[in-house]
Amino acid sequence: MKGADAEARAAAHLSALGREIVAHNYRIPGGEIDLISRDSGVLVFTEVRQRRSARYGGAAESVTARKLALMHRAALTYLTREHGRDDLPCRLEVLTIDGPAETGTLTVLPLD
């Protein structure tokens, strides 16, 4: 359940920024979006990554091109299934926690 602790902290952080959390762990075959939030009318799809130590690289380095492609596909599926269209204002981001889930350094990285 270590991922759940990181995701709970991430959701609390995004809520503190004024975002409305819309969904947790939205799953499709082969992909998942950890958190979906609304920020001033824009849907934000967030991948949460946490690394307790930098021994094998930081949390940001754990996000692969394949993961980003799966995240993009899951976001498009969400838009189509839940809203009936895929042209709504939205963005992707990665929220990293370097160190313990409860106290590690938290960073939000927007994706293009």
| pLDDT tens across the length of the chain (112 residues) | 568 999 999 999 999 999 999 999 999 998 899 999 999 999 999 999 999 887 888 899 989 999 999 999 999 999 999 999 999 999 999 999 999 999 999 999 999 7
Nearest to 5 by CA among 99, 101, 109, 107: 101
Give tens-digit pLDDT for 63-91: 999 999 999 999 999 999 999 999 999 99
Report domain 2-110's class. Answer: alpha beta
Question: What are the boundaries of each domain within the chain?
Answer: 2-110
What whole-number distance in Å separates Cα of residue 6 and Cα of residue 3?
Answer: 5
State the pTM of this model: 0.93
Answer yes or no: are the C-beta atoms of 96 and 58 closer than 8 Å. Answer: yes
- Name residue 106's beta-bridge partners: 97
Q: What are the distances in angstroms from CA 16 to CA 5, 40, 57, 73, 84?
A: 17, 14, 28, 28, 29
**Portion of the chain with pLDDT greater than 90, in percent:** 84
